[in-house]
Amino acid sequence: MIKKRLYLGLLAVTMLLFAGALAYVWLTFFQRDAGLFRYLLVIAMTVVLACLAVIGLGFVGIVLSIISDKNIVFLNKPINFTVSLLYPVVLWVGKVFKIAQDKIQCSFVEVNNHLVRAKKGKLQPQQLLVLLPHCLQERDCSHRITSNMENCTDCGACQVGALSALCKRLGVHLRIATGGTLAREAVKTIRPCAIVAVACERDLTSGILDCIPLPVLGITNSRPNGPCHNTGVSLDAVEKAIKFYIGGGETNVHVLT
């Protein structure tokens, strides 16, 4: 919960800032100006107020979903609106408070995963896509696995072979992407109903935002050799995330609609 509080706290501060700015503009200009400007101001303020109301609903939806561990179906659209619209501002507010970006991104992934896990419904294995980052591949490996996973000989030098075997066994799609473009292409081609994504906090965050409203369970990779090369991931976490969607694990009760 501590991790989630950071993103939720910054989201609340962001909303307060917007509300404060709105009140300031209203109090400063409404009394002073008359005529056409006043009408334009009223129209602009109404639009911004409506957006703020949806954002407020989205925030309430996120908090209720986390507290109750349930999907608040009728608030899903406001939640998606709030998350995608305010994320850059939340990062900016975090910067003002000198909070490291990766901490905010990590908190965002936690909140997202909680929202995804709160949903119910079960998927067929072929409706699920597992997206892995290219940096999981051993740096000196000469096999081109981004174009064809079958090129991996499962030599054991990295986890790609084991992850490929896991996805084959569970019957889910697997793609390795070198960046956002390849990941988007994979989503466009396979058209999954949900995604399990492995990446660093930054890539996970942008991927999750890119995919909205598609549910994405994010798993952060480990980076014992520094960023972007010879990274690792918990096979157990990947298997649990897949089984969350398709059933067969302890978390079989949580499924998606």
Q: Give alpha helix (H) positions in the chain.
A: 2-29, 36-68, 76-96, 101-117, 160-170, 180-190, 201-211, 235-246
Q: Can you read off the two tokens belonging to residue 123?
A: 């998927």
Q: Residue 174 Cβ, how far from ligand SF4 at the closest point, in Å?
A: 12
CA angle 43, 47, 50 (to 5 degrees): 135
Size of the site for ligand SF4 (CB under 6 A): 13
* Strands laid side by side in the 173-177 sheet: 173-177, 128-133, 194-199, 216-220
Q: Which residues pair with 218 in a beta bridge?
A: 197
Asked if 161 interacts with ligand SF4 (CB under 6 A), we say yes
Residue (90 or 174) nearer to ligand SF4, CB: 174
Asked if 165 interacts with ligand SF4 (CB under 6 A), we say no
Q: Where does this chain touch ligand SF4 (CB under 6 A) — which range of 146-154, 177-185, 193-201, 221-229?
A: 146-154
Asked if 166 interacts with ligand SF4 (CB under 6 A), we say no
Residue (145 or 197) nearer to ligand SF4, CB: 145
CA angle 174, 247, 120 (to 5 degrees): 105
Residue (63 or 141) nearer to ligand SF4, CB: 141
Asked if 157 interacts with ligand SF4 (CB under 6 A), we say yes
Residue (140 or 250) nearer to ligand SF4, CB: 140
Q: Where does this chain touch ligand SF4 (CB under 6 A) — which range of 47-55, 119-127, 138-146, 225-233?
A: 138-146
Asked if 148 interacts with ligand SF4 (CB under 6 A), we say no
Residue (17 or 162) nearer to ligand SF4, CB: 162
- Cβ-in-10-Å burial (0-12, 13-18, 19+) of 132 comes to buried
Q: Are the CB atoms for 109 and 204 separated by under 8 Å?
A: yes
Site string for ligand SF4, 98-137 (x = CB under 6 A): ---------------------------------------x
Residue (144 or 191) nearer to ligand SF4, CB: 144
Owner of token pair 């999954």: 192
- Please report, for residues 6, 87, 96, 122, the alpha-carbon distance to residue 101 in angstroms, rounded to integers and kept in the order given: 11, 12, 11, 34
Q: Which of 15, 160, 163, 167 binds ligand SF4 (CB under 6 A)?
A: 160
| Site residues for ligand SF4 per CB under 6 A | 137-138, 141, 143, 145, 152-155, 157-158, 160-161
